[in-house]
Amino acid sequence: MSPTGTPLFEPVTIGDLTLKNRIVMAPLTRSRSSDAGIPPEFAAEYYAQRATAGLIISEATNISAQARGYALTPGIWTAEQVEAWQHVTRAVHANGGIMFLQLWHTGRISHPDLHDGALPVAPSAIAPKGQAFTNSGLKDHVTPRALETDEIPAIVADYAHAAQCAKDAGFDGVEIHSANNYLLDQFIRDSTNKRTDRYGGSLENRLRFPLEVVAAVTKVWGGGHRVGLRLSPGTTMPGETPLDSNPMATYGAYVAELAKSNLLYIHDIEGITQLSRAPDGIDYMAFRKAFTGAYIANNNYTRELAESTIAEGKADLISFGRPFIANPDLVDRLRTGAPLADAPKPYWYGGNANGYSNWPGMNGPIALKS
């Protein structure tokens, strides 16, 4: 038992992985990659500094050129990208860490500037609110192009290819990004999916594409024991509400199907990222009880809330996002009750190593093994 009286800081086994603690570094988009989707050399140091987390989940990583929705985000579909990620995974492993890569397709949350003038793709031609981050700044989202039925298997194949590339890059597993109104979530929700083919209409049809992706990715990894999935039943991103007419029924059915896939975990955003926790009408514990694998809880957790959540059996692991930006030694700070540094928002996205891999620990620079 940990000094705080909870197992938060003690080792835990999920699937065939033994994690050094129950603290997860959540995916954090930082926009430091090249236009070719290649993460910078200093990304290896950034992730290795945070290897004291029980599990690191990479920033969201595009599965293909079509998947891009933000400038300067990394990819995992070319040999050059794989080679760059190999430097990251080697550094994390040298420092005792375990790291998964998050597989991402943004769908309609994109802009033609990121696709040589072509429209972003989506289940239906419905424009999202908000703006896209392009190389020339923020631009209003546009009405996307609805995917043709015969285009969808190629995207499933892109997920499988990216999953294999992640394996080749040395990751310990992958997380499928099925949250925050990106492509998979767009197919699931009845406000963004107005299709009349086998991928739209009924709930069974709306779940078909995401479940085909899960099947393809788990096949690459030899089963679901190294595959997780992130979901966000309560989100209103990108600023629309409601995104689904019956989220409990929709996501209850989704989680029940995911349980059959023997996934390692589901990673649940409980509420709306950066805004609120657990909005009315969403019973997150129902999803936890329905799923057979591990449950990672996320969104505005403090140490105290994390400890009580673990102690009460409401989650197996807790993921922290923004606190990891300015606190590479977040696990030790949480364990000892040390104060947390706060990263100003201008450091969150874009730039170089400054405000990224040069944050000190509470006792000075983080010493890394090479």
Each residue of 309-318: pLDDT tens digit? 999 999 999 9
pLDDT tier, 3 (very low <50, low <70, confident <90, very high otherwise)? very low
- What domains appear along the chain, each with residue ranges and CATH number? 7-347 (3.20.20.70)
Query: Average of pLDDT values for 127-136?
Result: 95
Residues carrying an active site annotation? 182
For residue 316, what are its two tokens? 């197996």
Contact status, residue 100 vs residue 15, Cβ threshold 8 Å? no
Each residue of 335-350: pLDDT tens digit? 999 999 999 999 999 9
Each residue of 153-205: pLDDT tens digit? 999 999 999 999 999 999 999 999 999 999 999 999 999 999 999 999 999 99
Inter-axis angle of helices 247-260 and 203-220, nearest 10 = 30
Residue 49, pLDDT score: 98
Separation CA 282–CA 199 (nearest Å): 25
Each residue of 31-74: pLDDT tens digit? 999 999 999 999 999 999 999 999 999 999 999 999 999 999 99
Residue 280, pLDDT score: 62
For residue 349, what are its two tokens? 């996205």
Share of the chain above pLDDT 70, in %: 96
Burial label for 314, CB within 10 Å (0-12, 13-18, 19+), is middle
DSSP code at position 364? B
Residue 236, pLDDT score: 84
Q: Is the pLDDT of residue 256 over 60?
A: yes
The model carries a pTM of 0.96
Task: Point out which residues pair with 295 in neighbouring strands.
Answer: 266
Residue 140: phi and psi, rounded to 5, are -60, 140
Q: Is the pLDDT of residue 304 over 90?
A: yes
pLDDT tier, 278 (very low <50, low <70, confident <90, very high otherwise)? low
